Chain A
Amino acid sequence: MRTVTFYSYKGGSGRSLLLANTARYLALSGRRVAALDFDLEAPGLQYKLNIGSPGQRPADIVPERGVVDYILAANAGNEPERLEDYIMPVALPPGSGDLWLMPAGSAPSGSYWKGLTNITKRGMLNDPDGMLIADFLELKFRLEEDLGLDFLLIDARTGITELGGLGTTLLADTVVCLVLDNSESLAGSRAVLRSFSRALRLDGQEPVEAVAVLSRVAAQDTSAERRVREYLTEPGTTTAESLMIETLYVLPEEPEPGLTEPSLLDRARESAESTLGRSFMAIMRHLDPELGRPTKALRRQQAADAMRALLTGGSIRRRDGKALRFLDDQVVQGEFFEPSSPFIVPRYVDLMAGHGGVWLVAEFVADLPTKVPTEDEIWHEPVPPLVWWLDTYVHEVVLFTTDWEGRLQYRWFCRQTELDPYSKLRVPQFEEVELA
């Protein structure tokens, strides 16, 4: 297992977002991945991993338990018996690897802050027996063994803190350090990056590998990479302190109207037109040099991301000419849908949108011809789409497919009123979606 910690000296660098996209990309490529929210003073990784249900505002998602509860129990000598009570599976398309989230805990509840205070008061630096350090290491090894992980991704606290330092030193094999091009971020990041060479390691542990990422670079700023690299690699007071940075990855800012938390996945292709997508792919190759060709699950997710952008951007037009538009927090991406009928097995759905219930379902269908699908073609899909099993509360259905590089290709749209209420096997009349 490789443990990669995502760190930034200052907030606002897109650290958690990069971690969430990395976690999804690796899992969609077949890896077994866990994301651990170690930003214990300001947690919220669950918001970035699309965990929730349709109509539930992301801000209302409060995990029951997490890292803080686990460590408190372990530190009191009662290691939890059931790890699954402390982690949440993230829904991914069939054919993916696995992705779990271990949230920080029930933040922002009062009991969470009380528990965190208990941990920080005990502190590692007043603990010559090493109990707290052993608790965190035991958790890491348990996640690795019980879940059979390929990657553990840790979201570390900004700045310099005792627990954040544990995440970037003892627990980490690699630290992805996000840097912003401003004086505070550069000075602090360089000091932290330089300290990695002197950070204490256990016997046999390799030194921490640092991966520097310059984030949120304005598209027109062509000199930022050179300027920041020169600053970071300026000679220190000793040779050991001077940084060697082979590659400085650059994530340019790409504002997208209608997307509050843009996903990198729909742009992440080897031949991407987008600089952001290419940079993201380069980081993925660095973290996992054995990544193969994009899997079907990954292409499906990329197309779903693009479809989400269409739904939240108001780019789809109904036949009556009105634009179909959802707010970002009205769309849930990747969910195990549980139909109201007990005879239908819960299944994965790419996108569900609505407010207080499911209004629209968007679902991937593979390998359809470049025309409006027929009943026979849809029925012979390896997994017949959800359109056959509509709940009465679902009013609209969008089917979509993708090309071989994961680009959203064809879209079809229908309303449930067009389905035969007595025979759900009758094919609905789909029409290709018109873009506004």
Chain B
Amino acid sequence: MTIDRLYPLVTDAIMRADVLEDLGAPGAAEAQLDVSHLEEQIADLLPASDPEGAIARRGAVRAAGKANDHARVRSLADQYLADPDAGQELRDQIAKILADTEDPIGAHHPRAVARIGADRLRRFARRLAGQGSPLPIG
């Protein structure tokens, strides 16, 4: 598929995924995965040094993260970080998305993690989900 054909497709896919995400609809993750695949196809056609190529690489990784497909995030990130054409700014952005995906609590909650620990927070969240309510009314 050509770039000219891919651009309108990815634009439509992004809009659809954003709307579904805003609505909290069940198909939101799948729509993000579509975005990721389209961005990946654009990235395959453009070098990382091209501004549009850089945007596509970043978009492919970020959309995979939004789709909660951690394996795909890692695979794409490894591939793009190994590309000698990738500039430092793009590398930093991809590394940040990777860190956010692999340890979202640690990446965004420095105070909570320092005081409580990411594992203890996750354990607490699972226990709370199991209990069904913060207030265990008997």
Q: Using a CB–CB distance below 8 Å, which chain A residues touch chain B?
A: 74, 77, 79, 118, 121-122, 124-131, 133-135, 137-138, 141-142, 145, 160, 162, 165-166, 168-170, 191-192, 194-195, 198-200, 202-203, 236-237, 241
Contacts and interface: CB of A to CB of B under 8 A. Distances in A.
B4 interface: no
Contact of B122 (A130, A138, A194, A237): A130
Contacts of A192: 135, 137
A134 B112 contact: yes
Looking at chain B's contact residues, the main secondary structure is helix
A125 B104 CA distance: 18
A122 B109 contact: no
Given A133-B124, A200-B127, 11 more contacts: A77-B100, A77-B107, A118-B22, A125-B133, A127-B129, A130-B126, A165-B135, A194-B138, A195-B135, A200-B131, A202-B116
Query: What 5 A-B pairs have minimum CB-CB distances, sorted nearest first?
Result: A165-B134, A130-B125, A141-B111, A121-B24, A137-B112
Which has the most chain A C-beta neighbours within 10 Å: B104, B112, B115, B138? B112
Which of A118, A135, A192, A200 has the most C-beta atoms of chain B within 10 angstroms of its own C-beta? A200
Interface in B5-58: 22, 24
B105 A130 contact: yes
Given A130-B124, A138-B112, A170 B129 contact: no
B111 A138 contact: yes
Contact of B134 (A128, A131, A138, A170): A170
Interface-central residue, A125, A128, A130, A198, by most chain B CB under 10 Å: A130
Interface residues on B, range: 20 to 34
9 contacts: A122-B24, A130-B122, A133-B121, A134-B108, A138-B111, A160-B135, A191-B138, A195-B137, A199-B136
A168 B112 contact: no
A124 B122 contact: no
Contact of A203 (B120, B129, B131): B120
A170 B138 CA distance: 18
Contacts of B120: 202-203
Contacts of B121: 130, 133-134, 137
Contacts of A121: 24
Contacts of B133: 125, 160, 162, 165
A106 to B, nearest CB: 18
Given A128-B122, A170-B134, A200 B105 contact: no
Contacts of B128: 124-125, 133, 200
A191 B136 CA distance: 9
Nearest to B110: A138
Contacts of A169: 134-135
Interface of B: 22, 24, 100, 104-105, 107-113, 115-116, 120-122, 124-129, 131-138
B128 to A, nearest CB: 6
Contacts of B111: 137-138, 141-142, 145
A168 B22 CA distance: 29
B60 to A, nearest CB: 17
A168 B124 contact: no
A169 B135 CA distance: 7
Nearest to B124: A202
Contacts of A142: 111
A141 B108 contact: no
B138 to A, nearest CB: 6
Given A129-B122, A200-B124, A202-B116, A124 B100 contact: no
A131 B113 CA distance: 12
Contact of A118 (B24, B113, B115): B24
Nearest to B68: A129
A162 B135 CA distance: 8
Contacts of B125: 124, 127-130, 133
A137 B128 CA distance: 15
B50 to A, nearest CB: 26
A168 B104 contact: no
A124 B127 CA distance: 11
Contacts of B112: 134, 137-138, 141
Nearest to B115: A141
Given A118-B22, A141-B112, A200 B134 contact: yes
B108 A74 contact: yes
B104 A129 contact: yes
A144 to B, nearest CB: 9
Contact of A195 (B104, B126, B138): B138
